[in-house]
Amino acid sequence: MVLDTNVALDWLVFRDVGVSALAAAIEGGMLRWLACPRMRDELARTLTYPALAPWSPDSECVLATFDRWVQPCAQPPAAPGMACRDADDQVFVDLAVAGRAQWLLTRDRALLDLAAAARRRGLTIATPAGWRAAMEAAPDVRSGAPQVQRC
């Protein structure tokens, strides 16, 4: 699984209950979260944005949690035929394809617009709510009560 920065923020900063099942699945070892150094750099940069000040993110804790749960990957090559119109988001698609991820979770329209092309490669690009609905529909992969680490 690949999480875009906003989904990581939903989990690690905003404490969005909509991603608690996702967090529990990662923390419980049911899902592997793939990330490369560029994704970590983007998260670190995003944590400094003034718009996040009301949440007082503990950058050190957020990045330590990121480091704990991600499976580090090398910078991926470009995924042919999967050009994202937002160059900053391209790395998420590239890693999902290169890492043979089943899911890329995002709320970003530029990434969601690639869903049809991604499906042809066995990758589902969806919102966290879409992932949760798919998991609830498949009883063999439901997770138990979430034990979610937060910063």
Q: What span, in angstroms and rounded, lies between the C-alpha atoms of 14 and 30?
A: 23
Q: For the domain that residue 72 is a member of, what is the CATH number?
A: 3.40.50.1010
Cα distance from N-terminal residue to C-terminal residue, the chain = 22
Look at residue 44 and tell me if it is in a domain.
Answer: yes
Residue 84 pLDDT: 95
pTM over 0.85: yes
Look at residue 8 and tell me if it is in a domain.
Answer: yes
Look at residue 130 and tell me if it is in a domain.
Answer: yes
Look at residue 64 and tell me if it is in a domain.
Answer: yes
Look at residue 149 and tell me if it is in a domain.
Answer: no
Look at residue 151 and tell me if it is in a domain.
Answer: no
Task: Compute the chain's Rg from CA coordinates.
Answer: 15
> Where in the sequence is the domain holding 40, given as residue range(s)?
2-141
Predicted confidence (pLDDT) at residue 150 exceeds the cutoff of 50: no
Amino acid at position 16, single letter = D
Which 8-state DSSP code applies to residue 99? T
Provide the number of structural domains found in the chain. Answer: 1
Burial of 149 (0-12, 13-18, 19+ CB in 10 A): middle
Predicted confidence (pLDDT) at residue 106 exceeds the cutoff of 60: yes
Residue 140 pLDDT: 56
Look at residue 148 and tell me if it is in a domain.
Answer: no
Higher per-residue pLDDT: 69 or 144: 69
